Structure 1
Amino acid sequence: MDNYPTNAPFPYLQSVPRNLTNDTPDQSIPRSALTERSKSVQRSKIWQLKEANHCPIIGTCLSMDELIRFARRFHFEASLDDTFRLHVEMVDRMATRNNVSEAIQKHLDTRYQLYLSRFETVKTDGEALNLWKKYFNNGEIAGPLWAALTHKRITDETRGKIYGDIHMHAHQMGAGQAADARRLVQLEKDCAEMKTTLSQQKSKHVQIETKLRQRLQEAMAEIQHLRQAEKELAKCQARLTTIESGKTMIDMGQRLMKLTVMNEQLQETVKQFDHIKQSLQVACNKIASLMQTRDALVEERDALKARLLADQTHSVSAVPLPPDEQAKQQYGCIICVGGRIDLFPQYRLIAEQLGILLLQHDGGRQDALSRLSEMVNRADAALCPTDCVGHAAYYQLKRLCKRSGKPCLLYKGKGVSSFAAALTQLATGKTSLSRTINGSLLETAE
């Protein structure tokens, strides 16, 4: 107990008389007063926590996208590109009760409602700490951290222990990044080896396919021979009725048995060849699917590479754009409705390289549809990948753009290359219905 660090963010609670703690009620206080006092205990608000709690809560319980969204909503002074300064400004605003801290409190309560309900079942400080340890050891951190630090029965000493867990976890995560980098190098090496193996297997498949086709031709010829044998067997059966000699009957019977056995064997062979043919077709389909996937990835890589080279060339050149090229960039703010959430940072980076402010709405998966009208009003034009957006958001976007008379470019393809091509198309003022991007048809909202 005496070895507890003096510079820790949570001062160690010194031992106090037993009748002054919450562990054993004072006998001098009426039981009814204790009951009323226990009912009045509520969860702590974020602005009621110590300043040292704010940093791990903001850094762990809020994602970067959520931090930027709140910073844009409440007009933070820090640049949206400087996530560290956004983090510092957000932590500073949690020190008092204000619009930002209240919005964060509501957002985290809604997002981690499940963990709040589970921590609500524990009634003491020790039980809350044990439940936190259980989640922490299982790798669940964000939700349990919020529920534990705001628990109504938790003490500053326990908050200090939780802070220590988070602090050491951050150090371990930093140390693990070096190991991840080494694993990445090994994985890239394994990927190259797998590509070599895939090429070798492809050559083997071609050889196997050639052999199977040859065997199939041989089987077809044997089937033709079997059919001829069946015709001869039918003639023999017709002649059996006319034969009167017993010896002839026996001979013919023996021949018939042999032919029957041969027929059954040949039919079994035909079945085996049919099975081989089906296996060959499945292998061909898999090869075609892999080739299509490879071609799509190569096409997307080439498009992004060309885009990157073009941006680098433009950034190096100090010559300003001609007046006619400057006139083409007529949209300063564009909203993208839908698309893959994990590609939103790449979408934003491409838009910034074109000098465009990009507003992003995930199409109703997490963002509320009620915000769509306000965002469309702020934008000069709209983009929408039709194969990665909810129906409600799709039709609402078309109605809003038609009502406001703003261009709305609808395209197919949820990859980065499709988005980059569509954004370039719209940024230059071209919304032709007949153009295609990477094989995807462009259309405008009617």
Structure 2
Amino acid sequence: MHTPPFRLAQTTDAAVRTGDDARLRAADACCVPSSVQLTRGRRRGKLSELDPHLHCSVIGTCLTTHELRKLVPKFTELDRQQASDLQIHHAAVELAIAGGTGSKALNKALDERYAGAIRRFDQATDEEAVLALWNEALKIGDIPPAYWALMTHPYATMPVRQSAFGELHMLSHLVGAANRADIRRLVALEEENAALRDKVERQQSRLREVSAERDTMVEQLTERIVKLTAQATLQPSIDSAELAAEMQTLQQKLAESEQRLALHTNRREAAELRAQEEQGIAEALRQSRDQALALLKVVQAECHALESATLNALDQGGARRAGLENVRGMRVVYVGGRPGSNTALKALVSSAGGEFVVHDGGVEDRKGLLAAALPGADIVVFPVDCIDHDSMNMLKRVCERHQVDYYPLRTASVASFIELIARVHADRTPVANARPPSAFCLRHG
């Protein structure tokens, strides 16, 4: 898969030839491809010269949130402590698209961090060599340095960049599949961690006993050596050979006791170190499990809403359509989404007596129509996985200006829409200016 999993706007060659840079920069960093070849000369490209739909993947893959929190607030009005990870990511993407000092600072940070990978990729003199280095990096898992070096390489053409983008996109899907294995491994590690704790406690108890026995034995042997030395001094007639043999035996026992003590000490330290490492791994897997469970709860809620709506429709003999009777007489504006699910949603809302207005966020419909459609809406709905940054920001500003409630959907599916309508009907509290329920973006991380 070499393109994003949603419909893309097509940039004509005429727009490229006339240098319509303002429109290209205004496009979403994740959703608009371009056929412009940015690196026509044999020099490394810049971040601002990349196609806009590549900026999101470059920022999200090659720079950590900690680095972005130190850099992005210098060029925006975001608060370094209060801003969410998603807001920091969006601001970084916008800086990269806009160019200027912010984009230059991001470009400099990437060049400094991945200088080694850039030097390694400089040895490539054609597209095949660039792809060979990229495939080698994929095998060893060293993706961020190789991704930046490839995107700015002078021989990286658009097919090469799209190939790397597609492989990186597919890797993100493997994370969800790995969560189940991580949960099973977490359970096993927790059991092993508990067993190791018990073993460490037993070894520590045994070590204390051995240490006490050793101290007692050392005291006894020391007293005996002192007595024997005194007797040898007072009674020269005692056989010196027997005394020397007994002293040697006592010294051997003392050395053996010290060796056993050192062995138990080393075992205890190794067990404690392993327990600490396993505890860290268990904590990381516990966090992954919590995220997976949170996503599972959301999906279960959507499935429950869809099932309830279906049963209601069957009980009423088709009088109500999929539990959407709450939208009767309402005007719903749906921004983004996919053509198939949008058609189904429009049919459901229309059959329930409501008006359903669809705007694709600027892919084919003009964005000016979006600003004109929002003021007369009762509610505005947009799926976070199928809408670009620019349309979402403009949508929020217009809704706040006209005091129209807006709601984010987890996905563009019919189940997510039905679950939202049921939740809004159950909770009559206005949620205008509401923020998304989670700062975790399903598309950007």
TM-score normalised according to structure 1 size: 0.47
Higher relative contact order (Cα pairs below 8 Å, separated by 6+ residues): 2
Whose Rg is larger? 1
